Structure formats: C-alpha cells, structure tokens
C-alpha cells in the first residue's frame, strides 16, 4: 500500500441531500482541508421533505437543513456551500440539472469531484438506495465528463466567462465497487461532529458508535483503523495535469 496521501488543490463534493456528504466522505474532505485543499459543497436539494414533524413546512425545513449543512461544512473545513434547490425526493438527472452542475464545475474549477455511485440500488439488507442519490450521482458524472470540459457544450456558459474545465480525478463513494481506501483515523471525530450538526436528522441518536463501526469495517484488513472507500477515476493523467495546472502535491500519510 502506498504511503503517499494524495492532496488536491481543490475538491468539489456533489451530493443530493444535506448530511449525504457527512455520511459518505467528510472524513477525507476534513483531511484534505487540513492539508490546504479548497473544499466546496454542492447540494442538489435542500432536504426539505426530510423533517416529518407535525406542522413542519417544506420552506421551514429547507431553512433548517441548509443552516445545519453550513455548520457541518464549517466543521469539516469547507469554504463554501452551494444549494441548487432542486425538489427533494423528486430529483431527476435532467439536462437542466447537468447544466447547473457544469456551471458550478466551471466556476470552481476543481481538481477533484466527489459524488455518489449511481449504480448502487441495493445497499444493505435493510436499505434501498434513495433515488435522489442515484440521480445526483449520474448527473454529477455526466456533468464532469464530457460536458464541463467541452467548450462547445453549453456554449452560453462560455459567453458568461465560464470556460471549459476538465477535472483531474473523480472520487465515487459507494459500497461494492470501491477499490481505494483512505484512512480517516485522524478525522473520524471531525466526521462525527459534522454529522451531529444535522440535529433535525440525528434527533436523540448519537452517530458515534455507528460511524466507528462502519468505518472500522471498511478499514478491515488494511493498515488503518478507520477508512472511507471510493472508486477513483483519473480523467487527466499526472503528466498532462502537471504541464497545464502545476505540480502534484503529495503528502506523507
């Protein structure tokens, strides 16, 4: 196993709902933030149907969940949070959503994009993967490649000064098709603290024990105690990236 921990200059995490990032990849993002990576969150929805309390409206729920997300992002070290405010529970991988994501990719010009795995349908024995997760995943991947890097796609964005941008790597969080394991030994408590910020979802449940259990299961058999897992796709090879963007920033693990 390599002892080099890859540290990108910038990373854009695209997920469906508030708290998806915290469950999926906040440990890695917190490590990157500590190492100097500029982190941005893009949430496709505001999770407005995720609070089922009597009398709760979608508008109020959206305000609550957006504020919880900002607090969680600050804990993990993210610099900005963008809400696309697509309808929660009804998210579609439409061309309109793809264009919105292309706009954010071209605006922030991330070295790495993180997203969910759109191929995961069956999660655990008691869980069906949420359709919004699948829609956000496929929309993110379609926006990354080829749309964001093709100047002749969504040409109107070029006229707005949002030039085509090719992402170097994609980190897809998932379960069965992952092959890259990242230690979050030093940031698992940050991940848990960020999850706790989602008070409307945690309620009386403290996620610490479950997160420790899940992260230790991912790390089993590897040289780490806690881990997050990803499928990593390299879209721009190192030599090409270095010529166009600058040097690689390795960091000892």
pLDDT at 149 over 80: yes
CA angle 53, 54, 56 (to 5 degrees): 70
The domain segmentation of the chain, as residue ranges, is 4-252
**Local confidence band at 146 (pLDDT 50, 70, 90 cut-offs):** very high
Mean pLDDT calculated for residue range 167-175: 93
The answer to whether the beta carbons of residues 21 and 59 sit under 8 Å apart is: no
Phi/psi at 205 (nearest 5 deg)? Answer: -95, 130
Does 190 score more than 70 pLDDT?
yes
Indicate whether 251 pLDDT > 70. Answer: no
Q: Is the pLDDT of residue 217 over 60?
A: yes
Q: Please give the Cα distance from 132 to 91 (Å, whole number).
A: 5
> In this model, does residue 253 exceed pLDDT 60?
no
* pLDDT of amino acid 58: 96
Weakest mean pLDDT among 36-45, 48-57, 116-125, 178-187? 116-125
Whether residue 245 has pLDDT greater than 90: no
Determine what percent of the chain is predicted with pLDDT higher than 70. Answer: 95
Q: How far is CA 83 from CA 62, 91, 100, 145, 195, in A?
A: 10, 13, 11, 21, 18
What pLDDT does residue 3 have? 60
Q: Which helix (H) or strand (E) holds 229?
A: strand 227-234
- Contact between 73 and 41 under an 8 Å Cβ cutoff? The reply is yes
What share of the chain in percent tops pLDDT 90? 84
| Per-residue confidence (pLDDT) for residue 128, from 0 to 100 | 84
Residue 206's pLDDT is what?
94
Asked whether the beta carbons of 184 and 28 are under 8 A apart, the reply is yes
Mean pLDDT of 127-138: 92
Helix ranges (H only) for the chain are: 20-24, 26-34, 58-76, 95-108, 131-144, 155-159, 188-196, 199-202, 208-219, 238-245
Q: In whole angstroms, what is the distance from residue 251 CA to residue 86 CA?
A: 37
**Residue 92: is it exposed, middle or buried by C-beta count within 10 angstroms (0-12/13-18/19+)?**
middle
Q: What is the pTM of this model?
A: 0.93
Look at 53-57, 162-166, 176-180 and tell me which has the smallest mean pLDDT: 176-180
pLDDT at site 4: 81
pLDDT band at 45 (very low <50, low <70, confident <90, very high): very high
Q: Which CATH architecture has domain 4-252?
A: 3-Layer(aba) Sandwich (3.40)
């Amino acid at each position: 196993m390599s002892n080099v921990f890859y540290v990108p200059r910038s990373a854009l995490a695209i997920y469906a709902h508030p708290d998806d990032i915290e469950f999926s990849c906040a440990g890695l993002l917190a490590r990157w933030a500590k190492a100097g990576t500029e982190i941005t969150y893009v949430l496709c929805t505001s999770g407005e149907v995720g609070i089922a309390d009597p009398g709760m409206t979608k508008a109020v729920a959206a305000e609550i969940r957006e504020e919880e997300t900002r607090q969680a992002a600050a804990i993990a070290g993210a610099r900005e949070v963008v809400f696309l405010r697509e309808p929660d529970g009804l998210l579609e991988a439409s061309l309109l959503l793809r264009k919105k994501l292309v706009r954010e990719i071209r605006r922030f010009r991330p070295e790495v994009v993180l997203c969910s795995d759109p191929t995961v349908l069956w999660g655990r024995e008691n869980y069906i993967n949420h359709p919004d997760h699948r829609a956000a995943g496929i929309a993110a991947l379609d926006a990354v490649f080829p749309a964001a890097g093709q100047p002749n796609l969504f040409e109107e964005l070029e006229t707005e000064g949002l030039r085509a941008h090719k992402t170097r790597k994609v980190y897809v969080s998932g379960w069965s098709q992952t092959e890259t394991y990242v230690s979050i030994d030093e940031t698992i408590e940050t991940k848990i603290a960020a999850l706790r910020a989602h008070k409307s979802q945690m309620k009386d449940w403290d996620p610490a024990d479950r997160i420790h259990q899940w992260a230790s299961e991912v790390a089993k058999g590897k040289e780490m105690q806690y881990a997050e897992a990803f499928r990593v796709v390299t879209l721009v090879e190192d030599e090409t990236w270095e010529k166009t963007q600058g040097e690689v920033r390795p960091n000892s693990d």
